[in-house]
Chain A
Amino acid sequence: MNAAYEFVTGPLAWIAWGIFLLGSAWRLISMYQLAKKKDASSWAFLDLGFSLRSIVNWLIPFNALGWRKNPLLTVTTFAFHVCLVAVPVFLMAHVALWTEFFGLSYATLPDNVADIMTLVVLAACLVFAGRRLTQKDVAYITTGKDWLALAIVALPFLTGFLAYHQVFDYQIMLIAHIVAGEIMLAAIPFTRLSHMVFAAFTRAYMGSEFGGVRHARDW
């Protein structure tokens, strides 16, 4: 068991982070090159100010028309994304690992708060899944790729929650949790989760077109 733990927190972690960071960089750079080569008539209109204007306006809950028209999803997705990023980054047990391996240390979330936030993520995943199953317009466009993304995200939180509460065998659950987390990291550049890398740019482009050319809002 110890050897397995060593492996998943050692070489496997390096591999997962490597795939995530290098993969994301590669996807961004190759997309940039493709854009320069093929999308000149779009690229020419990118504008930092209008990009930020659009991004900021979409980061405010219920500000954009899209958010106002989809209240359940708005509440869910804001809670989901905030917790999704905050929990793994600021969890005490995770920061302890950074300290152990690299001597890094920074602010942490109290465990009971992190616990609730984990439940928020899981509840949000249930809402997402529920929409995909019951809401006709979402069900119609749902593909395997969307289920895969959802599963990849839900698993680290589910296993983390179970491990923390020592349900089933702690050791096995812990290793499952670490592996699930590493799968998620490595999957980001190559699945629907790549929206983490690209969404800011699609938004920025739309903001630039609407701001600079069409002189209208895009939210």
Chain B
Amino acid sequence: MGITERLIEDAGLRRGVSLLTPEKIEKTIVAVLQGETGARLKTYAETCMRCGMCAEACHFALSHPGDPSYTPAGKVHQTMSVLLDKKGRVDPDFIYGMAQLAYTECNLCRRCVHLCPIGIDTAYIMSTVRRICHKLGCTPQYMQDTAHSHASTFNQMWVKDDEWTDSLMWQEDEAREEFPGLRIPLDKEGADIYYSVIAPEPKFRTQLIYQAAAIMHMAGVDWTMPAQTGWDNSDMCMFSGDFEVMGRLKRQHFESAQKLKVKRIVMGECGHAFRSVYDVGNRWLGWRWHPVPVIHAVEFYWELIQEGKIKLAKKFPGPVTIQDPCNIVRGRGLQQKLREVTRFLVEGDIIEMHPNMEHNFCCAAGGGVINCGPPFKNVRVEGNAVKAEQLKATGVKTIITPCHNCHGGLHDIIHHHKLGMDLKFLSDIIYECMEKPEA
């Protein structure tokens, strides 16, 4: 049992591995282990008691009952443990399997932390494996394409500078029919709120920008979006292991907010982007906290509701269920606020999934797994049969989830398992239900 029995062809991994030599492998692994890791990895490797308690944590393991190679400790056992034992003397074929495992069979969701008595962070170990794969040039092709886009354009989707501002102006134009006087203020100095999004929004989910603008407008928020690079808060480099580019991206994001002298950054409904800005990028840049305060859309909507700035014309018909995005729940503790916002918007019950909140199961798209593209789609869809069961058990038609990855992941799970459920962002519902100017 193990990754060698389920290898999947990927052009990026294949080409990367074909260029490797044992010397290069050893040198790279030793360089990362000695240069970039320390007491944390060492104690994790040594004090993991191999007790197997974490096996119950991982949706991949639970969706493959009887196959221990999907358990958190089982995945470490096949990757980092081998690198440490052999001091980096492994062959290129090993790197292929290790990369496939680290990039596509772990969402870095940290659920396993809740089941490990020692407090071992398997996600950190898998990120370190990915870091080594990146340094070896062995990354899945689709993910590497997004990383290249980040490196050359500062956004994930090859959006050109003029396309970005064009998209915003186009959405502003459209929205002004429904909301006379609405603006998407570009580069407004000193605004209260700097709103940043992920590049898929201008690329193919422009209605989300429309909706955000509508909500800001009706709530009377003093806000802005940057006209220059920095607007994309997403970060596939964090997941591919290209930490140098990750650092550049996060710096650009913060600096563009600083240049505009805004009070706060509000990030759209995305989980991984929030992780990159709130938890990871700042550390790589040597900042303990953020040079500009950062909040996630869930918290922002919650504040607007507290202040009475969101007025509803109707409520959304429930019942609904909530998919907790790992990165804002285990990553930021927003589970209660998410429920309060939902209760404000929805008429009827919230049917909870079990487990939920901090103990939720990941959508299996996160951690960059969905960005590894079509070759690995079944890995995450079949690897999350437990999520399908969870969703089915709620018996509801609508799933609310404030995260792009959760949307992507659940969308595929819903189709594969023919669940016939709808997915909503909070902004979808706020927009649908809020008071609008008389037509």
Binding site for B on A (CB under 8 A): 31-32, 34-35, 37-39, 41-42, 44-45, 54, 58, 64-67, 69-70, 73, 77, 131, 135-143, 146, 192, 194-195, 198-199, 201-207, 210, 213-219
Query: Across the interface, which residues of A come within 8 angstroms of B69, CB to CB?
Result: 140
Q: Known interface pairs A202-B120, A217-B358. Does A73 touch B53 (Cβ–Cβ under 8 Å)?
A: yes
Tell me if B66 counts as interface (CB < 8 A to partner A). yes
Tell me if B38 counts as interface (CB < 8 A to partner A). yes
Bound form: Cα–Cα A206–B122 in Å: 12
Query: Across the interface, which residues of B come within 8 angstroms of A146, CB to CB?
Result: 49-50
Query: Across the interface, which residues of B come within 8 angstroms of A37, CB to CB?
Result: 38
Of the candidates B40, B279, B359, the one whose C-beta lies within 8 Å of that of A214 is B279
Query: Across the interface, which residues of B come within 8 angstroms of A216, CB to CB?
Result: 329-333, 335, 358
Q: Known interface pairs A140-B68, A140-B69, A207-B119. Does A214 touch B330 (Cβ–Cβ under 8 Å)?
A: yes
Q: Known interface pairs A195-B47, A205-B119. Does A39 touch B333 (Cβ–Cβ under 8 Å)?
A: no
B145 to chain A, nearest CB (A): 29
B285 to chain A, nearest CB (A): 10
B98 to chain A, nearest CB (A): 16
Question: Can you list 23 A-B pairs with a CB-CB distance of less than 8 A?
Answer: A38-B38, A39-B40, A44-B288, A64-B114, A65-B115, A65-B359, A66-B53, A69-B56, A77-B51, A137-B74, A138-B52, A138-B68, A139-B68, A141-B50, A141-B71, A141-B73, A203-B118, A203-B119, A206-B119, A214-B279, A214-B332, A218-B114, A219-B114
B238 to chain A, nearest CB (A): 14
Query: Across the interface, which residues of B come within 8 angstroms of A218, CB to CB?
Result: 113-114, 119
Bound form: Cα–Cα A159–B294 in Å: 60
Query: Across the interface, which residues of B come within 8 angstroms of A204, CB to CB?
Result: 119
Q: Known interface pairs A31-B42, A31-B43, A219-B114. Does A213 touch B279 (Cβ–Cβ under 8 Å)?
A: yes
Bound form: Cα–Cα A31–B359 in Å: 31
Query: Across the interface, which residues of A come within 8 angstroms of B6, CB to CB?
Result: none
B55 touches A137 (CB 8 A): yes
Q: Which residue of B lies closest to A201 (CB)?
A: B43
Binding site for A on B (CB under 8 A): 1, 36-40, 42-44, 46-47, 49-57, 61, 66, 68-69, 71, 73-74, 77, 113-121, 279, 283-284, 286, 288, 329-333, 335, 355, 358-359
Q: Known interface pairs A31-B43, A66-B53. Does A140 touch B71 (Cβ–Cβ under 8 Å)?
A: yes
B291 to chain A, nearest CB (A): 16
Q: Which residue of A lies closest to B69 (CB)?
A: A140
4 more CB-based (< 8 A) A-B contacts, given A38-B36, A39-B39, A137-B74: A31-B43, A138-B55, A143-B50, A198-B43
A34 touches B39 (CB 8 A): yes
B49 touches A192 (CB 8 A): yes
A35 touches B117 (CB 8 A): no
Query: Across the interface, which residues of B come within 8 angstroms of A45, CB to CB?
Result: 288
Bound form: Cα–Cα A45–B282 in Å: 13
- Of A44, A143, A201, A215, chain B has the most CB atoms within 10 Å of the CB of A215
Bound form: Cα–Cα A13–B51 in Å: 31
Of the candidates A34, A137, A206, A207, the one whose C-beta lies within 8 Å of that of B42 is A34
Q: Known interface pairs A66-B117, A192-B46. Does A137 touch B68 (Cβ–Cβ under 8 Å)?
A: yes
Query: Across the interface, which residues of B come within 8 angstroms of A139, CB to CB?
Result: 68
B43 touches A69 (CB 8 A): no
Bound form: Cα–Cα A216–B329 in Å: 7
Query: Across the interface, which residues of A come within 8 angstroms of B332, CB to CB?
Result: 214-216
Of the candidates B43, B49, B61, B114, the one whose C-beta lies within 8 Å of that of A65 is B114
Of the candidates B39, B73, B74, B121, the one whose C-beta lies within 8 Å of that of A38 is B39
Query: Across the interface, which residues of A come within 8 angstroms of B42, CB to CB?
Result: 31, 34
Query: Across the interface, which residues of B come within 8 angstroms of A198, CB to CB?
Result: 43, 46-47
A69 touches B115 (CB 8 A): yes
Q: Which residue of A lies closest to B46 (CB)?
A: A194
B68 touches A199 (CB 8 A): no
Q: Which residue of B lies closest to A145 (CB)?
A: B50
Bound form: Cα–Cα A40–B312 in Å: 47
Bound form: Cα–Cα A139–B121 in Å: 21
B279 touches A131 (CB 8 A): no
B421 to chain A, nearest CB (A): 26
Query: Across the interface, which residues of A come within 8 angstroms of B119, CB to CB?
Result: 54, 58, 199, 202-207, 218
Query: Across the interface, which residues of A come within 8 angstroms of B55, CB to CB?
Result: 137-138
Q: Known interface pairs A34-B39, A214-B333. Does A66 touch B116 (Cβ–Cβ under 8 Å)?
A: yes
- Of B37, B51, B77, B116, chain A has the most CB atoms within 10 Å of the CB of B51
A41 touches B359 (CB 8 A): no
- Of B37, B38, B47, B117, chain A has the most CB atoms within 10 Å of the CB of B117
B247 to chain A, nearest CB (A): 12
Query: Across the interface, which residues of A come within 8 angstroms of B1, CB to CB?
Result: 140
A202 touches B333 (CB 8 A): no
B47 touches A192 (CB 8 A): yes
Bound form: Cα–Cα A31–B44 in Å: 12
A34 touches B38 (CB 8 A): yes
Of the candidates A31, A140, A195, the one whose C-beta lies within 8 Å of that of B49 is A195
Of the candidates B38, B40, B46, B53, the one whose C-beta lies within 8 Å of that of A69 is B53
A206 touches B113 (CB 8 A): yes
Bound form: Cα–Cα A38–B43 in Å: 13
Nearest first, the 10 A-B pairs at minimum CB distance are: A38-B38, A215-B333, A206-B119, A140-B68, A35-B39, A66-B115, A138-B52, A41-B283, A137-B55, A137-B68
